[in-house]
With several copies, the nearest count.
Chain A
Amino acid sequence: MKDAATHYCQGCGHSVIHRLTAEVIEELGIADRAVGVPPAGCAVLAYFYFDVDMIEAPHGRACAVATGIKRANPESIVFSYQGDGDLAAIGTAEAVHSANRSENITVIFVNNAVYGMTGGQMAPTTLLGQRTTTSPAAAGREAHREGYPIKVSELLASLEGSTYIERCAVNSVRAIRRTKKAIREAFLTQMNGEGFSMVEILSPCPTNWKMSPVKSWKWIDEVMTPYFPLGVIKDSRKGSKKDAG
């Protein structure tokens, strides 16, 4: 991490996830090979915080950009860092096909159930009943009108090409530790040349959830994880499985 104050709101999960990712990169000794692809989303300025090479992607296209980088320069360790709007809405095709091609990249997927940067609109992962500025009904998001919250990890896990997918959260000390481990596994998957890895992280957006950070943590436990179950969703690695679990 660079020594810079982040622009994130108080209690935002992005800050924590940045730190965990940076620590893993550091600990694996791949900082000089790492190339990060931040999204259009609250994490768009990630290059101010990560002390590795980075290149911005148009909204939703981080997986395609990462694919281009990795194919052109297979020695690099490439990760995209994407929000739920970025990856699960406009970037659906790029995510699905990168996973399906088993591109040897790592996706850090921050699911905060909302479009953070643009001010709290409904995301593909917004929960049923959750009110946002674009699901403004008293009943919040309703399936018959706005569809269901997408379980991205399960969706991508159903593709033969995806190798390692885990869903974590950052709403407790334990969860944060677990998330770091998952990120480590994901990068190891790439380092071993085993293909597409992704860590989905349930992450608080206190600002758009209109809750205190502490309340946000609880909300993840009480509302998000019942729908988005935590754990290893897929692990079809051949070599490096020992580390996981």
Chain B
Amino acid sequence: MPCIVINKETCKGCYLCIEVCPKKSIAIGKELNSKGYHPAMPVENGECSGCESCMIVCPELSIEVYDEE
């Protein structure tokens, strides 16, 4: 199944990825990163479809989508 990796340190917590994810596979993380943002995180057991929407909208290039075959 496809999955995403979010770079916690570069994420600025805009949550646009969360907004666009059709699978509701991303959520706000609990921890603060060193810039003071709560980075977005993939939800556990999310059903990522690998649509790349999150990657496309992320302003910080913080998301990579892996489509493991």
Chain A interfacial positions (CB closer than 8 Å to B)? 1, 5-6, 8-16, 19, 172-173, 176-177, 206, 212-214, 217
Contacts and interface: CB of A to CB of B under 8 A. Distances in A.
A15 B53 contact: no
Contact of B61 (A19, A173, A177, A212): A19
Interface of B: 10, 12-16, 19-20, 37, 53, 56-57, 59-61
B13 A173 contact: no
B-side interface mostly: loop
A89 B16 CA distance: 31
Given A172-B20, A217-B19, A206 B14 contact: yes
B10 A5 contact: yes
Nearest to B54: A173
Contacts of A8: 59
B14 to A, nearest CB: 3
A173 B60 contact: no
15 contacts: A6-B59, A10-B13, A10-B37, A11-B14, A15-B60, A19-B61, A172-B57, A176-B56, A176-B57, A212-B14, A212-B15, A213-B15, A213-B16, A217-B16, A217-B19
Given A6-B59, A217-B19, 8 more contacts: A9-B12, A10-B12, A10-B59, A11-B16, A16-B59, A19-B61, A213-B16, A214-B16
A206 B12 CA distance: 13
A222 to B, nearest CB: 15
Contacts of A12: 59
A151 B10 CA distance: 35
A217 B19 CA distance: 10
A46 to B, nearest CB: 14
A25 to B, nearest CB: 16
In this complex, the member of B20, B59, B60 whose beta carbon has the largest number of chain A beta carbons within 10 angstroms is B59
Contacts of A176: 56-57
Contacts of A172: 20, 57
